Amino acid sequence: MRVGRGAGVVLALALGACRSRDAGAPDAGVLPPPSALTCEGLITPELRDALPGFTVKEERTCPTCGPLCTFRSAEQKDVTVSIAYDCHKLPDGQDVRGLLAPTLRAGGVEIPALGKAAARREPVPGMTQVVAWDDDTPCGVVVTWLGKDRDRAPELARTTLFAITRERLMLAGTPPAIGGSTPDAGPEPDAGSL
């Protein structure tokens, strides 16, 4: 099973990620559309430190979804970690805790004190998945950990949510400068790059 594809499907189901959006240009101070967010912009040094030795690859599960960042390690070939981001304004009156219902119906367990709402489940043996919504931004994440140490998934979700800020979302949605690299262009020369 390719964890990247599985996480993308769960993101679409759990967060309702693929929906029509206004195609107009965002105003100053308005978050960029999820399709403009990048792994390079969203992944902080703290998140990199939580996954030492892992490289990241960015994918899209749909044109209007946030990025799916898949981490793999040459040393830990049996471990794959992915973080799927979905950052958009929820409809007025939307109960964030109600968004946990699909995860809970699928055998998930609510995680207290993690963002606005969070739950974890084990969709297949050897895989842990955590769905969580941020307190301060309109973002949800799905962290999927396949392989050993999968009990680290809730803490990685906490680190991910803590790292999301409106400023980071704005920066993550900024297109690279002319001559800049894309997330799939390979390693950057500087040590802080992905």
**Summary mean pLDDT of the chain:** 78
Token pair in block for residue 14:
């759990």
Tell me, what's the pLDDT at 10?
41
**What domains are defined for the chain?**
3-14+32-172 (3.40.1000)
Q: Give the per-residue pLDDT at 77.
A: 92
d(CA 145, CA 106): 17
DSSP 8-class letter at 36: G
pTM summary value: 0.74
Which tokens sit at 159?
Answer: 């680190």
Residues 6+ apart with CB under 8 A from 10: 84, 123, 129, 131, 142, 144
Residue with tokens 């390693």, as numbered in its chain: 187
Low pLDDT (below 50) residues in the chain:
1-28, 177-194
Give the type of residue at 128.
T
Q: What pLDDT is attached to residue 138?
A: 87
111 token code pair: 């995680």
DSSP 120-157: EE-SSTTEEEEEEE-SSSSEEEEEEEESTTGGGHHHHH
pLDDT at 29: 55
| The pLDDT value given to residue 88 | 82
- The answer to whether 70 and 87 are in contact (CB under 8 A) is no
